[in-house]
Structure 1
Amino acid sequence: MGHHHEHNHSVKNIRTAFFLNFGFTIIEIIGGLLTNSMAILSDALHDLGDSLSLGISWYLQKKSDRKGEDNNFTFGYKRFSLLGALINSIILIVGSLFILTQAVPRLLNPQPIEAGGMLILAILGIAVNGMAVLRLQRGKSMNEKVVTWHLLEDVLGWVAVLVVSIVLLFKDIPILDPILSIMITVYVLYNVIRNLKKTLRIFLEAVPDDIDFKEVKTKIASLSGIRSTHHTHLWSLDGEQNALSTHIVVENSLSRTEVISIKQQIQEFVEELNLQHLTIQVDYEDETCCMDDQAEK
């Protein structure tokens, strides 16, 4: 019951943060157009990406109670979050490039900015994102922790907009707006592209960055009774939970008890790899492997 209550609390926290963020994003887009501020519109794009992330996090959090796998998705639904990350990344990259095409020309031809409206939106942005952070900060789920850090970045971005708007109230330096816009957009692009690379690596079933694959194969092959290994594959399901499959060739003289002992040793060794799935196929020396491949060195 305690776990179920905590799960419902996590869903409510993310749902609240989603509606706060999405509602303010609409206000932000309208305000950016009315104040003629590219910095506001740049942050609106960032907040739109956050809203998409929050919406997907909310959806996935609700789905986390369902059965892990079924006849359609035998590995479960872990990669649905990656699909969301991929969609969000593409939207943010396209949007960021559009913002840059609008902001860069303003460096050569700065346009007047409604500093008062910009100031009001900045204060509102800090308040709304701050409320969302406070709401999620009480949560314990990984979803809530990741989203909290994302929203903290938004608060810092709005602090920058606030500072620029105060300067513009006292000094007419309209070029500050496109400069801030470009800085925000470049920062967003940098983080999006970095995360996109990680997402694509997972989609392409690359070995997780924090695991030495050669070491894994060497340790398995060095176990007493194992002649060789082949078809060893290690990949990540969602960036957190990993899967490993391997074929081990054992001596013909090994008993059932000894084979079980070898499998247990492998299981103990790979415990630290955050494995959700482990598959070990045992082949004897005089047995032809069904995959018919050369043993790994």
Structure 2
Amino acid sequence: MESDHHHHHGPLSDGRLAWAIAINVLLTVVQVAAGVVSGSLGLIADALHNLSDAASMGIALLAQKIARRPADRLMTFGYQRAELVATLINVTALLLVGGYLLIEAISRFVSPTPVQGWPVVIVAGVALVIDILTALIIYRGARHSLNIRAAFVHNVTDALASVGVIVAGTLILLYDLIVADLLVTVAISGYVIYQAMGLLPRTVRLLMGAMPDDLEYDAIVAALRATPGVRDIHHLHVWNLDEHRRALEAHLVPEADDLAAFEQLKHRVREVLRKRFHVEHATLEPCIADRTGAPIVRMQPPHRHEAAAGSDKTGRAH
């Protein structure tokens, strides 16, 4: 199926994203091994956060590939919402990881275990360098995609978490303060949950077709009613097709009951929508109104449905 839709893709290449994934997976393996050997829950917490970032970027990579597919008979607007689905999966995973770490830290407060300081400090230092490197790799794409932005924010928080783990390891070395490891774990898990809850509302709103965050319903209605040739407007719906594209549909009551004039009116209305509200896709239908301004009949003929196109045995249309 041909499509006139314009897709917006960030400049982050698949290759750069794949490298970031590979680095984070390798780091996760090293951190888990070091965490088990040293007994540091904080190091394991940081490792799981890194693993969630690697999974996030892996899903983002897959979603990017799916989102590039052109519109077809199944997905007539295209596949770009795949990235929103990926974001929802990643946010859910973050909430689960954060909750698990929080519960594990609380249980260790009750039954503390010994922690070796040097492995914690060394591995967390390596993790800090890799987290910063990964954040630099995906920074450009973060400006264009909610999904990549989530991965970028996670890597920045990973870097902060690594700093916290280094501090905890240092306190264990100097003062044998094992509780510092648990406090860092609580801080990491809390911040993971905080970040996930910050991304969740917008992701859900986009998937549910809510009004775009920076638009006001009443402002759009007022602007369209103020357009020359528009008597009134009814059945207005505005939603995001994906993170970057918006769509609108509405019934317009024109001042002139003339279909040719209505074509010119649609052009003026679409210009208002494009310039003032950045709406690229607008479906506008004309209506005839009664004296009160309420719509009574659509000017254009009703839609034909294939199911109603047949005839019964008597030859009459269904």
TM-score under structure 2 length normalisation: 0.80
The runs of 5 or more residues in structure 2 that have no matched partner are 1-8, 291-295, 304-318
- 1:280 aligns with 284
Q: Structure 1 CA distance, aligned partners of 2:46 and 2:34?
A: 11
8 Å Cα contact 1:106-1:175 kept in structure 2: no
In structure 2, how many angstroms separate the alpha carbons of the residues matched to 1:213 and 1:8?
A: 32
Structure 1 range deviating more: 140-149 or 125-134: 140-149
| Alpha-carbon distance between aligned partners in 1 of 2:182 and 2:116, rounded to the nearest angstrom | 13
Match runs of 1:115-130 below 5 Å = 115-130=117-132
Cα distance in structure 2, aligned partners of 1:183 and 1:57: 26
Residue aligned with 2:59, SS: helix
1:41 is the counterpart of 2:48: no
Q: Is the 8 A contact 2:68 2:79 kept in 1?
A: no
Corresponding residue number in structure 1 for 2:100: 98
SS in 1 for 2:297: coil
**CA contact 1:13–1:139 (8 Å) conserved in 2:** no
| Residue 243, structure 1, aligned to residue 252, structure 2 | no
Give the partner amino acid of 2:231.
R
Contact 2:32 2:44 (8 Å CA) reproduced: yes
| Counterparts of 1:255 and 1:276, CA distance in 2 | 23
Q: Displacement of 1:185 after TM fit?
A: 0.6
- Cα 1:138–1:88 change in 2 (3 A) is closer
Higher relative contact order (CA 8 A, sep 6+): 1
Match of 1:18 among 16, 21, 30: 21
Structure 2 vs 1, CA of residues 110 and 137 (structure 1 numbering), >3 Å: closer, same or farther?
same
Residues 55-204 of structure 1 mapped to structure 2, 5 A cutoff:
55-67=58-70, 69-137=71-139, 142-143=144-145, 146=149, 147-204=151-208
CA distance in 2, matches of 1:8, 1:137: 10
3-state SS of 2:251 partner = strand
Is the 8 Å Cα contact of residues 225 and 254 (structure 1) preserved in structure 2? no
- Contact 2:97–2:189 at 8 Å: present in 1 too? no
CA distance in 2, matches of 1:240, 1:9: 16
The answer to whether the 8 Å contact 1:230/1:247 transfers is yes
Root mean square deviation, CA, Å: 2.6
1:7 is displaced (CA, Å) by 8.1
SS in 2 for 1:199: helix
Distance in 1 (alpha carbons) for counterparts of 2:199 and 2:172:
34
Residues 169-178 or 216-225, more deviating: 216-225
In the alignment, residue 222 of structure 2 is paired with which amino acid?
Answer: T
Cross-structure match for 1:223: 227
Task: Specify the code of the residue in structure 2 equivalent to 1:24.
Answer: L
Query: What number of residue pairs does the alignment pair up?
Result: 284
CA contact 2:17–2:138 (8 Å) conserved in 1: yes
Give a deviation string over 1:36-65, Cα, whole Å, max 9, x none. 222122222222221122112222333454
Measure the CA separation in 1 of the matches of 2:159 and 2:73.
43
Does the C-alpha gap of structure 1 residues 92 and 255 become closer, same or farther in structure 2, counting only changes over 3 Å? Answer: closer
**Alpha-carbon offset, residue 9 of structure 1:** 6.7
Check whether the contact 1:103–1:182 (CA below 8 A) recurs between aligned residues: yes
Give the aligned residue type for 2:36.
L
Output the TM-score relative to the length of structure 1.
Answer: 0.85
**Max radius of gyration: which structure?**
2
Given that residues 40 and 120 in structure 2 are in contact (C-alpha distance below 8 angstroms), is that contact kept between their aligned partners in structure 1? yes
Distance 1:235 1:112, change over 3 A: same
Within 2, Cα distance between the matches of 1:102 and 1:78?
38
- Residues 67 and 83 of structure 2 are in contact (CA less than 8 Å); yes or no, is this contact kept in structure 1? no
Counterpart-to-counterpart distance in 1, 2:48 and 2:242: 26
**8 A contact 1:234–1:243 mirrored in 2:** yes
Q: Which one-letter code corresponds to 2:116 in the other structure?
A: E
Q: Could you tell me how far 1:16 is from its partner in structure 2?
A: 0.7
